Structure 1
């Protein structure tokens, strides 16, 4: 985690291509963004960037050129499969799925159906898939760990869509705006469902410009050029001042803690719940026994996550448990860098997790799952294999205070 933060200024509106243009303007490499888009919809679109002026201000306009006549209306489950199967960075994939997941929920509420059965129509077209994947890939290229956004201008009046003549903001944008500060900002559709979904799904909070040590910025242009206001979405990049101070004191990154109290779940289900949360990107997940009202025994489920994974993990908690509510709080976590070193144990290899600081080993612990598996293969008692692994780590010089060995494989 680099701690780089992006703040989105959508005070003049936001669309997927505008946010993508802002990130390209801020330095995201368009060729690498294209590569990510091709991984999901190969050979279907071409991204083209050009410099433009909007009300006298320079910006980048990214156009999505569709290269195929195949423009089906796709279900959410189809898009999810496309993204899941694509070769993408894990953080990019998680952000794309979170964005389309929010879109599916909004469209389902508008049309009175389930998210799985939603036809995305305009937002499922190739250009919008390219916008969502492109934005998420650009964030990864810019090493953005966290995002926030100010109020969004949504527009006013009426527009014509595939569903006929409707009011602005369109129904999907209204659904996505729940809990978000919005203003009209002018006539016409200033916030599209794709743009609003990206802001809502990827931002950890709604805030005015935070105290930021700025190290980059970009402006993305919309298609129209209004004479009275620049039709731009802007992005400011940098380090949040509080995070920078924390780093100076020894390092820290921002994490979110999700919690839920549950008193009516079959206890046999809990191990699988924890496993699926960890597989879904949680940094950690655990249970604490508690006593609730009327003397009911229960558990507090706690999930530790990076902010960009919160939406998906919250959905997973609702899906996998019987809770009716999930609370969230923001924390700063200071974690030792860590990595893996393999040691030989009885003719097999056991990885040892090494926590380190300033080039020195702080602690080294054999991976217990590997120890347990080796014991199962050899028929030896687990404590004996664990003792051998600890001895092998010591022999390899993996002891507190030792210089880090060559070949350390980094992990998160």
Structure 2
């Protein structure tokens, strides 16, 4: 019995969301028109699965990837064939850093190869403000969607620094900073309704 083949029409032009240029305003059709004022860009994704490397080395490699241009690095526990426990290393980067980061994964880990893909990121417009706390100033990041402030979040490194300098739990610093932020965010939400 022979299978039947069917073909559909198409175009030789790639869809606009596959363009590597940074864009203002979202053009990816599946996300929707409500995000017109979000920033978008295209990032490369580098992935590899590793089942034979010490976790200490993985941590070291992760730090080096960040130091050499990775936008994000994350580890996912996975199971490979024959039920072997492994770790998937995923690296997000801009194209300018891709080759350097691939070389690092190939030389610093036990992998024999990596997978490459790209993705469109949708990002809130952001700015930074200083929040005064009893332990000193802490920087916070504000995120805007369509011109409206929707979130303000304390910067981790500032919270960590203040916690270490004052010998207090980082959780306490984070909670107090959020308390100081809440009225600012609430006022902005009320003004835009």
TM-score by length of 2: 0.75
Partner of 1:266: 54
Alpha carbons 2:21, 2:41 under 8 Å: kept: no
2:107, 2:159 → 1: CA distance? 33
> How do 1:290-369 and structure 2 match up within 5 A?
290-369=78-157
Is 1:245 aligned to residue 33 of structure 2? no
Give the match's secondary structure for 2:75: strand
1:357, 1:325 → 2: CA distance? 39
2:127, 2:190 → 1: CA distance? 15
Superposed CA RMSD: 3.0
Partner deviation per Cα, 1:145-170 (whole Å, 9 max, x = no partner): xxxxxxxxxxxxxxxxxxxxxxxxxx
Structure whose alpha-carbon radius of gyration is higher: 1
Alpha carbons 2:47, 2:89 under 8 Å: kept: yes
How many Å apart are 1:394 and its aligned residue? 2.2
1:313, 1:254 → 2: CA distance? 17
How many Å apart are 1:351 and its aligned residue? 0.9
Partner deviation per Cα, 1:231-256 (whole Å, 9 max, x = no partner): xxxxxxx969xx97339833532222
How many Å apart are 1:312 and its aligned residue? 1.7
Alpha carbons 2:153, 2:178 under 8 Å: kept: yes
How many Å apart are 1:361 and its aligned residue? 1.3
> How do 1:60-71 and structure 2 match up within 5 A?
none
Partner of 1:34: none
Extract unaligned runs of 5+ from structure 1.
Answer: 1-207, 213-237, 405-412
Partner of 1:49: none
Give the match's secondary structure for 1:298: strand
Q: Structure 1 pair 291/361, CA: closer, same or farther in 2 (3 Å)?
A: same
Partner of 1:219: none
Q: Structure 1 pair 290/211, CA: closer, same or farther in 2 (3 Å)?
A: closer
TM-score by length of 1: 0.37
1:322, 1:350 → 2: CA distance? 40
Q: Structure 1 pair 258/239, CA: closer, same or farther in 2 (3 Å)?
A: closer
How many Å apart are 1:262 and its aligned residue? 0.5
How many Å apart are 1:280 and its aligned residue? 1.7
Is 1:287 aligned to residue 69 of structure 2? no
Q: Structure 1 pair 239/315, CA: closer, same or farther in 2 (3 Å)?
A: closer
Alpha carbons 1:360, 1:403 under 8 Å: kept: no
Is 1:275 aligned to residue 57 of structure 2? no
1:316, 1:288 → 2: CA distance? 19
Partner deviation per Cα, 1:264-320 (whole Å, 9 max, x = no partner): 111012222222222222221100001122322110001112222211221222232
Give the match's secondary structure for 1:245: coil
Aligned length: 170
